[in-house]
Amino acid sequence: MSNHDEINNKETILNVRGVLARHRLVEELVRKQNLVELQRLLDQLDAQSMAQMLEIFSPEDRQIIWDLIAEPQKEEILIVMPYDTRVELAADFRARNRNMVIRIFDLHEGLLRQIPIETKADLAHAKPIWIDLVMPEDEHLNWAQDVFGVDLPNPKELTDLETSARFYVEDNGEVHLHSDFLLDRKDASRNIAVAFVLKKDILFSVRSEELPAFRLQRLRARAESDYISNAKDLLLDLYAADVEYSANALEDIYMELEGVGRQVFKSYMTDEEAAKILAAIAEEEDLNGRIRRNVLDTRRALSFLMRGKFLSETQHEDVREILRDIESLDGHTSFLVNKINFQMDATVGFINVNQNKDLKRLTVISLVFMPLNVIAGIGGMSEFSMMTAGIPWQMAYSGLLTGLAFVSWLTFMGVQFFERRKIRRLSMASRTNHKIQTR
């Protein structure tokens, strides 16, 4: 890139920053005009310049820009983008066609290359290393069976199976694996079942949703030369990407629990705040449980591949490295279980303290009104009328009300006196114990 191009890119970035500043301030009509101008400025940048610009802006501004970029250009940008930002943007990716996605990849000069497939004839002429299907129609499953002689499961029928049915080898040499992959969304996190079939050095994958681990793996294999050499390398790297994605999800749980912890350790918490905190803790506990299940399933799949002697010595070493990563995640998930339980117990403790305070207030009120009930009962008897026969009723009942007020005040002050004396006694006992311990 020449100096002149760099200057133009810097000027364009400054203009984009100015438009974004106005975008946050103006009304809806002007905002739409700004988006049109922003789109015009973005069209002037190539993929490399766009990646550099996305690194500069905040996550909010980055998302605004990302939504305006055309889908084909997103692939080019993600390839040249640093890994952390790539993970952030790829995780929110939604396939344009949610009903059917079929991707065919081959190896070209050491890089993973996607082949455009429109017809069954195109598939027959291809020499793929990976066929990736997301919610395919029955027609496309039949294509794979007719061309490659492989029987692929329907993603709608992928359910929890026994281990013997999840990992097995057919008589014709096909290796079948059914594994869970993590999908961490802000609205709902879940495990997505993925069916893998290895046949004649071709990897087939079938699933019901787009997964960040798959997208990251495609970008990595397309950007790094000789990253993979065969279908088994690709399968192991998909499992490694899933473990890495699970590790990122665990980091998010740590950050969320730190925020929850700051609220838990406040000196006071209302019941409404406690309810929100318990909901947040429950959500993180659910995600932590899904990560534990996900890495357990990955460990079983890798153990099956090692026991089946399908892998080379280099691939065995890769598997052992992934298993070590999984073992490290196990320690983190166990620690998070304890942390979640502690924060949940602390929050429930605040709720119990608030309930005890409410019960104490009710007890004090009952104690204050107990003698009043006795006096009020006497005032309603006929004997009271006989005793005050010579006194005007206005004065008699005024005296009764004054007596009620005096008795209630006297009772309340007596409760306060005994409560303060109890607090002083406990405080003196605490200071005495402290002096004894410091000697």
Whether this prediction's pTM lies above 0.85 is answered by: no
DSSP secondary structure letter of residue 82 = -
Please give the Cα distance from 350 to 356 (Å, whole number).
10
DSSP secondary structure letter of residue 157 = G
SS3 308: coil
Q: Any bridge partners for residue 332, and if so which?
A: none
Q: 């100015």: which residue's tokens?
A: 18
Letter string b/e over residues 369-396, b meaning 16 or more CB atoms within 10 A of that residue's CB? eeeeeeeeeebeeeeeeeebeeeeeeeb
Q: Which residues contact 307 (CB under 8 A, 6 or more apart)?
A: none
pLDDT in tens, the chain (439 residues): 566 666 667 777 777 777 776 666 555 556 677 777 888 887 777 877 877 777 787 777 777 887 777 766 776 777 677 756 665 565 544 434 433 478 888 887 777 888 877 778 878 888 888 988 888 877 888 888 888 888 888 777 766 555 557 788 888 888 889 888 988 877 678 888 899 999 888 999 998 888 888 888 777 766 776 677 888 888 998 999 899 888 888 888 888 888 888 877 776 777 788 888 888 888 888 888 888 988 898 999 999 988 888 888 888 899 999 999 999 988 888 888 888 888 888 888 877 877 787 787 777 777 767 766 666 666 666 555 555 666 776 776 677 778 777 777 777 777 777 777 777 776 777 677 666 666 6
Which residue type does 24 have? R
Helices (H), 109-167: 120-125, 138-148, 163-166
Please give the Cα distance from 392 to 53 (Å, whole number).
92
Does the domain made of 101-351 have the CATH classification 3.30.460.20? yes
Give yes or no for a contact between 226 and 237, defined as CB atoms under 8 angstroms apart. Answer: no
- Name the token pair of 84: 């952390």
Give yes or no for a contact between 31 and 50, defined as CB atoms under 8 angstroms apart. Answer: no
DSSP secondary structure letter of residue 41 = H
